[in-house]
Amino acid sequence: MKAILVIFLWILFQSLHAVETVDVKIDFNFYKPDLYEQEILQTIKKIQNQDFEHALNSTRDLLAQYPKSRLGQMIYADLLLAKAAPLHKIGDGISTVKAQYDFKHEIQQRWQHESNTEHLRLIPENILFLAKNQPYVILVDQEKSRIYVFRNEQGTPVLVEDYFISIGLKGYGKQKRGDQKTPVGIYHVTKTIDGEELPDLYGLGAFPISYPNVWDDRKNRTGDGIWIHGTPSDTYNRSPWASNGCIVVSNPDFTRINKYINSSIHTPVIVAQQVKWLKPGEWQQQRKEMINVLTSWIADWENNQHDIYREHYSKQDYFAYNRDFKSWDGYKKWVTRDRKDIKVEYSNLNIFNYPGEENLVLMQFAQSYTSNNLDLETDKDVYWRKADNRWQIVYEGARTFPKTETQLVQN
């Protein structure tokens, strides 16, 4: 594999260097970049500039600080080999084709993230509103091998940190147990597991998430045991597609993200194939639209005029608790026939654009319902789909979290 990685880096970053960046003033005070990644990319920039001697010295320094970095080891080995052979000479790398691809993929993902800072002044489409009791939310972009931590600023997400991740060996879009894919959906952390309770593969610990959720069940997706976890003790990080379906971060990054995840309040984890970023005005418009949808539904519910209230539910797609729309409609009309003085209040509201689905929004909130003959407190999930220019409910039910065992399962 003589100098093959060096050649790749040289050619790749010659082309990437030509991409223009927008010169804007951005406040980075709230955002903390990954120091390991910064050192890797500084070394790569030296290779880009054909400054191989300084790149070699930088790599030595990198490995002194991060001795388990396989990417650093690969760069260092090829820089040594490049001193003995011309850069245009590619050695026999047939037996390590997969390893070469993995390292190239990782470099591309890290460099492209570093090169594009546009998202720092945008807001992710998936997060429209955050509950007061959720100080942080986690967002995963599988195509970019990235996990983002957002702080809740009065319901608005503010980016704090992000880290490189590995996902399933077969990519994203989990459908069945054992397919080695990472799911796409909206989940919550259900437990914190210390690394001492787990095999070395899981590193410093794990955060199981609530896959499969009710929407996965509706889509007949199977499997479980999807976790956010660390890396083995002999590895700094894994390649972009390397797990059996879990979301894997380096052990140092696991320590950092541990500060933001709280299993007792079920920190939300939004796992997207690709994150779409919105300008603040566009994001505000979507947010306002969904707040209006929610308040209109509640107003018609409180008015207790069933023929109007039922129009908030999809006749074609509603299904919950083994009831389709027709069954739900008859049941709801019967149980509310003598109900008066209905009052519905909500708190701790989350509004998420559901990843991987067109025009699907998940609202989560604590609901307080009172009337003349029924008082009820419920944590609720409500899924809305837009069809024919109108948002209607396709699922409504109490929010529950699966019990997570420490025992290992096949994803």
The pair phi, psi for residue 198, each rounded to 5°, is -125, 160
408: which residues sit within 8 A by CB, 6+ positions away?
A: 198, 199, 225
Assign 93 to helix, strand or coil: coil
- Is this model's pTM higher than 0.85 or not? no
Q: Where in the chain is the domain with CATH 3.10.450.50?
A: 280-398
From residue 20, give the alpha-carbon distance in Å to each of 33, 48, 109, 306, 326: 21, 16, 18, 57, 56
Q: Give the strand order in the sheet containing 390-398.
A: 127-129, 343-353, 360-370, 375-387, 390-398
CA 174 to chain centre: 14
CATH class of 280-398: alpha beta
Q: What is the pLDDT of residue 170?
A: 95
Q: Which amino acid is at 129?
A: F
Q: What is the pLDDT of residue 50?
A: 72
How far from each other are the two terminal CA atoms of the chain, in whole angstroms? 34
Count of CB atoms within 10 A of residue 125's CB?
17
Distance between CA atoms of 135 and 379, rounded to whole angstroms? 18
The pair phi, psi for residue 39, each rounded to 5°, is -70, -40
Over residues 33-91, the pLDDT tens digits come to 677 888 778 877 777 777 777 777 777 787 788 887 777 777 766 666 665 555 443 33
Q: What is the pLDDT of residue 90?
A: 31
Tell me which DSSP letter residue 402 carries: P
Chain position carrying tokens 């546009």: 118
Q: Where in the chain is the domain with CATH 2.40.440.10?
A: 121-278
* Residue in 248, 243, 246, 247 with CA at minimum distance from that of residue 230: 248
Q: What is the pLDDT of residue 33?
A: 67
Q: Which amino acid is at 220?
A: N
Specify whether the CB–CB gap between 97 and 5 falls below 8 A: no
CATH 2.40.440.10, applies to 121-278: yes
Specify whether the CB–CB gap between 62 and 72 falls below 8 A: yes
Which residues of the chain, if any, have pLDDT below 50? 1-2, 4, 7, 10-11, 13-28, 87-95
Over residues 129-166, the pLDDT tens digits come to 999 999 999 999 999 999 999 999 999 999 999 999 99
Distance between CA atoms of 126 and 274, rounded to whole angstroms? 10
